[in-house]
């Protein structure tokens, strides 16, 4: 009996040592040089994305994830949902997708050809955006909530916007109302996380919108705890160090207008029930509840201190610094919706996937910054100033000018 116990103890200690050895080795050497030539290594399926010899350092395999899964999970757990690709109902064949969502029907796509030639100053522009972000994060006189906490201090549930593609070594922080539907589609194609009749999608626009926003489709940081347990934070840090990290942002006030248009101007029973009804009860003078909420009601809801005492802002109007943690995560690429076509083309080249797919076309009827004055015309000056304070960090960190015309009489 004693010998058996000692044997079991040595097996456990050996397994733990092997895990730590893998983590330390991967941390120091990088995933590009780490490939397990064992039964755990999976051959890429037919049609997998090709790579060239020059790109070997960008080849990121998920064998370490799978190996750690084997060691950290019990032998009886064979159906981990995080390891399975999601099978979705078949699509009707079409060169352009069927637009099932009202928002896409109303706005439509801009199928016109865009000039995506690289501007020689784009690399300089990217450097300026990243430097501005780093400088303000390091500036002790510029203060906003959560700025000074470390990555380890971020609660797990606040990491749910960081989508990981282990096949290409990419991390994308999605911001609602900033082309996130189409960037999620791109991530699905690259990660091959969604199947149509057993085959991964190749064209982003073939992916139905209702599947794009299904959380089970994406591997996000907040799911790491279920897979890796106490090793999850260390592995997150390794991926943040090794992978290419990007996000797209937008003028904060224009993003709010866009959120209001899509969630309250278009028919949306869920948002009407969860958000419009409370707004109307608090701020509307009507004896019976109207069928729609006004933009002033929405702004009053945002600046009301009681709102976040009940629950955090919905992701569609939550500040970018709270979604993507730009002072805790050093992003390699900061795109903007105002320069979406140019930035998307540049990013796909940077990721070395521009030959594999194209970024989907933009909406024809996108909310424009020129609409700001009209939308805020009926908003009291004091409310506008309070609203700016709420979103000031997003304006400053991402280089958007202070809207002086809206903040003064």
Domain total in the chain: 1
Region 266-271 average pLDDT: 91
Residue whose tokens read 């591997």: 219
Residue 71 sits at φ, ψ, to 5 deg, of -80, -35
204 found inside a domain: yes
Q: For the chain, give the longest Cα–Cα distance.
A: 85
Q: How confident is the model at residue 241, as a pLDDT?
A: 97
pTM of this prediction?
A: 0.77
363 found inside a domain: yes
Region 221-240 average pLDDT: 94
Structure tokens at 73: 């999970």
Residue 282 and residue 279: Cα distance in Å, rounded? 5
338 found inside a domain: yes
Q: How confident is the model at residue 47, as a pLDDT?
A: 38
Residue 92 and residue 115: Cα distance in Å, rounded? 30
Number of neighbours of residue 192 by Cβ within 10 angstroms:
19
Number of neighbours of residue 379 by Cβ within 10 angstroms:
17
257 found inside a domain: no
191 found inside a domain: yes
272 found inside a domain: no
280 found inside a domain: no
State how far the alpha carbon of 4 is from the alpha carbons of 7, 18, 75, 76, 229, in Å: 5, 21, 20, 22, 28
Q: What percent of the chain has pLDDT over 70?
A: 71
Q: Which residues of 283-296 are buried (b: 16+ CB within 10 A; e: fewer)?
A: bbeeeeeeeebbbe
Q: Mind listing the pLDDT tens digit for each residue in 281-319?
A: 899 877 677 788 999 999 999 999 999 999 999 999 999
Mean pLDDT over the full length of the chain: 80
The boundaries of the domain holding residue 366 are 120-251+319-370
Structure tokens at 184: 């999620």
Identify any residues that bridge with 293 across adjacent strands, giving them in sequence order.
none
Chain-centroid distance of CA 213 in Å reads 11
Chain-centroid distance of CA 108 in Å reads 23
113 found inside a domain: no
Q: Mind listing the pLDDT tens digit for each residue in 143-198?
A: 999 999 999 999 999 999 999 999 999 999 999 999 999 999 999 999 999 999 99
Kind and range of the H or E run holding 69: helix 63-72
Residue 96, pLDDT > 80, answer: no
- Listed range (78-87, 126-135, 238-247) with the worst mean pLDDT: 78-87
Contact 364, 110 (CB under 8 A): yes
Contact 259, 253 (CB under 8 A): no
Residue 87, pLDDT > 70, answer: no
């Amino acid at each position: 009996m004693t010998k058996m116990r000692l044997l079991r103890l040595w097996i456990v200690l050996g397994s733990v040592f092997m895990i730590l050895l893998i983590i330390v080795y991967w941390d120091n050497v990088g995933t590009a040089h780490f490939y397990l030539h064992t039964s755990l290594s999976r051959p890429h399926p037919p049609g997998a994305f090709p790579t060239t010899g020059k790109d070997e350092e960008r080849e990121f395999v998920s064998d370490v994830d799978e190996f750690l899964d084997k060691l950290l999970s019990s032998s009886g757990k064979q159906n981990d949902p995080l390891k399975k690709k999601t099978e979705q109902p078949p699509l009707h064949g079409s060169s352009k997708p069927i637009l099932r969502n009202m928002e896409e029907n109303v706005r439509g796509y801009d199928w016109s050809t865009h000039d995506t030639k690289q501007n020689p100053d784009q690399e300089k522009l990217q450097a300026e955006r990243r430097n501005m972000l780093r400088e303000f994060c390091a500036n002790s006189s510029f203060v906003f909530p959560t700025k000074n906490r470390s990555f380890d201090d971020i609660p797990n549930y606040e990491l749910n916007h960081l989508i990981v593609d282990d096949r290409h070594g990419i991390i994308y922080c999605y911001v609602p109302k900033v082309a996130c539907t189409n960037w999620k589609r791109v991530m699905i194609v690259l990660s091959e996380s969604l199947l149509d009749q057993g085959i991964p999608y190749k064209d982003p626009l073939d992916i139905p919108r209702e599947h794009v926003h299904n959380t089970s489709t994406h591997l996000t940081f907040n799911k790491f705890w279920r897979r890796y347990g106490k090793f999850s934070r260390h592995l997150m840090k390794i991926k943040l160090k090794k992978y290419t990290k990007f996000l797209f942002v937008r003028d904060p006030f224009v993003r709010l207008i866009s959120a209001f248009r899509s969630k309250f101007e278009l028919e949306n029973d869920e948002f009407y029930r969860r958000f419009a009804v409370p707004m109307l009860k608090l701020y509307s003078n009507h004896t019976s509840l109207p069928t729609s909420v006004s933009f002033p009601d929405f702004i009053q809801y945002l600046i009301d201190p009681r709102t976040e005492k009940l629950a955090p802002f919905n992701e569609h109007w939550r500040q970018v610094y709270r979604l993507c943690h730009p002072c805790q995560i050093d992003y390699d690429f900061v795109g903007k919706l105002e320069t979406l076509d140019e930035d998307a083309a540049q990013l796909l080249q940077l990721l070395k996937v521009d030959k594999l797919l194209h970024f989907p076309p933009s909406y024809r009827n996108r909310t424009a910054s020129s609409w700001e004055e009209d939308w805020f015309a009926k908003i009291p000056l004091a409310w506008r100033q309070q609203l700016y304070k709420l979103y000031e960090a997003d304006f400053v960190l991402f280089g958007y000018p202070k809207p002086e015309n809206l903040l003064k009489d």
